[in-house]
Amino acid sequence: MSRRHEQRIPRSKWTRDHASRLRRTPDTTAPIIYPPERRISDEYHLWDTWFLRERDGSIAEVDGYRIAFSLSASSSLLPGKRHDEARIRYFYSTDGREWTYGGPVFPEGEAFGSRQWAGSTLLDDGTVYAYYTAAGHRDEPELTYEQRICVGAGGTVSTDGDGLRIDGPWDHSVLLEPDGERYQTQEQSMRQDGPIYTFRDPWFFEDPETEETYLLFEGNTPIDDPDPERTYNGCIGIAYSETGDPADWAVLDPLLDAERVNQELERPHVVVRNGRYYLFTPSHQHTFAPGCSGFDALYGFVADSLFGPYEPLNETGLVVANPENAPFQAYSWLAFGHGDEILVTSFFNYFDLNGLSLDDVAFLPEAEQFRRFGGTYAPTLRLQVAGNRTRIWGELGYGRIPLERESLAAPDRVRYRATDD
């Protein structure tokens, strides 16, 4: 590890003081929307989504196509069961509006894990590195919840008159597992009897200032304390590749932790705009520690360099909250740069819940569980950013993913509603 990495202490914190001031404001609350008239896929529920990107973080364009990767499961499966069957499937588009299904990224039975959870995908000199979380183990008789950060390396993208294909052969390897010192293991978390641990959602990031290569991920810090508040210990993990090799990583200390605040800092990612580092992470209302309350929302932090110190955006960390009347309308927000703006995509989650929580959904009649689940791309939000402030100031269409060079002027159709109740 380089001296630079050893010296950067103390780590940034999302504190109970920040979180105690979480309130929805007009600048941080998304509008209430109807589900789209057409889903991206009738065959699959889609949720966590990301894009094929170049090393510098820009969305890759291959022969005029951009490519989206989504966690997916058969749409005949109850929406709440989808995590148990998740596979990464890809979709491609020439205009960032209409998406065509390509196929599963990996042939069945080849990837690690009994299901694949979120990741990121890099195109490096024509080679695809598909990072994913292996949840559980291949061929296990019953689902288990160990999470390992993996990559399938060596894929290629090709196009012809019929569209686009991503093919292997893939060289799968386990890149990172928690060490029990910097990052909590499953065993440590089980001893604590707290909420289920996390070690997932790898996100490739090249620092534009140093051109150094990193992988961010969601983790927990090891804590040995019976206090129930203390078992909420989400953190944003980071690993470093000394050579820049996208398949060779060494873990570093977490970038930021939310000890006693929140258990899950999901899908962490960084967008650099105007020389500042914006670190984003979606999280849930139900993963806040006892005595803290927040929302299903995108949270964020800002710093002058990758290693911080980070301060919470908008003083509390709140960047995009679901509206009070539709508190579970969207989830798994992902930010990416566009000119001076930051755009935020997400998936359409549950609507029409009329005061029910996410945990209550499983008690609804099955037909209602299906009816109230979106499972497709939500409208893309437009954020203005200035220093440590952000403001939602507009929307683009459902699943609209523009490249940097594309103008946002042409209006999109978003179906707004007054209230979800």
Active site members: 48, 266
Structure tokens at 324: 């009070």
User: Closest approach of Cβ 216 to ligand FRU, in Å?
Assistant: 12
The residues near 142 (Cβ < 8 Å, ≥ 6 apart) are none
User: Closest approach of Cβ 113 to ligand FRU, in Å?
Assistant: 11
Q: For ligand FRU, which is the closer residue by CB, 18 or 45?
A: 45
Q: For ligand FRU, which is the closer residue by CB, 35 or 136?
A: 136
Q: For ligand FRU, which is the closer residue by CB, 253 or 266?
A: 266
User: Closest approach of Cβ 389 to ligand FRU, in Å?
Assistant: 26
Whole-Å CA distances, 54 to 51, 61, 213, 240, 335: 10, 9, 12, 18, 16
395 CA to centre of own chain: 19
Asked whether position 391 contacts ligand FRU by CB under 6 A, the answer is: no
Alpha helices by DSSP H, listed for 159-234, are 186-192
The CB-side HSE value for 196 (13 A sphere, CA atoms) comes to: 8
Out of 124, 253, 257, 266, which residue is the one contacting ligand FRU (CB under 6 A)? Answer: 266
Asked whether position 200 contacts ligand FRU by CB under 6 A, the answer is: yes
Asked whether position 267 contacts ligand FRU by CB under 6 A, the answer is: yes
> What mask, x for binding ligand FRU by CB under 6 A, covers residues 132 to 171?
-x--------------------------------------
Residue 344, exposed/middle/buried by CB under 10 A (0-12, 13-18, 19+)? buried
User: Closest approach of Cβ 1 to ligand FRU, in Å?
Assistant: 27
Asked whether position 206 contacts ligand FRU by CB under 6 A, the answer is: no
Asked whether position 118 contacts ligand FRU by CB under 6 A, the answer is: yes
What residues are paired with 123 via a beta bridge? 128
Structure tokens at 269: 């990612």
Q: For ligand FRU, which is the closer residue by CB, 130 or 385?
A: 130
Asked whether position 83 contacts ligand FRU by CB under 6 A, the answer is: yes
Asked whether position 70 contacts ligand FRU by CB under 6 A, the answer is: no
Q: Which helix (H) or strand (E) holds 18?
A: helix 16-20
CA–CA dist 252, 1 (Å, integer): 8
CA–CA dist 319, 392 (Å, integer): 8
CA–CA dist 262, 257 (Å, integer): 9
Q: For ligand FRU, which is the closer residue by CB, 46 or 313?
A: 46
Whole-Å CA distances, 187 to 30, 79, 132, 196, 231: 38, 29, 22, 10, 13
Asked whether position 117 contacts ligand FRU by CB under 6 A, the answer is: yes
User: Closest approach of Cβ 116 to ligand FRU, in Å?
Assistant: 9
Out of 19, 68, 86, 255, which residue is the one contacting ligand FRU (CB under 6 A)? Answer: 86
Out of 71, 216, 255, 302, which residue is the one contacting ligand FRU (CB under 6 A)? Answer: 71
Asked whether position 265 contacts ligand FRU by CB under 6 A, the answer is: no
- Other CB atoms within a 10 A radius of the CB of residue 391 amount to 16
Asked whether position 260 contacts ligand FRU by CB under 6 A, the answer is: no
> 């970038």: which residue's tokens?
255
Asked whether position 124 contacts ligand FRU by CB under 6 A, the answer is: no
Q: In 3D, which of 64, 76, 35 has the Cα closest to residue 366?
A: 76
Please give the DSSP secondary-structure letter assigned to residue 326: S
Binders of ligand FRU: how many residues, by CB under 6 A? Answer: 15
> What mask, x for binding ligand FRU by CB under 6 A, covers residues 216 to 235?
--x-----------------
Q: Within 341-380, which residues bind ligand FRU (CB under 6 A)?
A: none
Please give the DSSP secondary-structure letter assigned to residue 228: G
Asked whether position 263 contacts ligand FRU by CB under 6 A, the answer is: no
Question: Is 335 in contact with 278 (CB distance < 8 Å)?
Answer: yes
Please give the single-letter amino acid code of residue 319.
V
Q: For ligand FRU, which is the closer residue by CB, 62 or 239?
A: 239
Whole-Å CA distances, 116 to 75, 136, 146, 185, 197: 17, 9, 12, 19, 16
User: Closest approach of Cβ 348 to ligand FRU, in Å?
Assistant: 13
Q: For ligand FRU, which is the closer residue by CB, 62 or 329?
A: 329
Q: Is the dihedral of CA 298, 303, 307, 312 positive or negative?
A: negative
Q: Within 8-67, which residues bind ligand FRU (CB under 6 A)?
A: 47-48
Asked whether position 296 contacts ligand FRU by CB under 6 A, the answer is: no
Binding site for ligand FRU (CB under 6 A): 47-48, 71, 83, 86, 117-118, 133, 200-201, 218, 266-267, 331-332
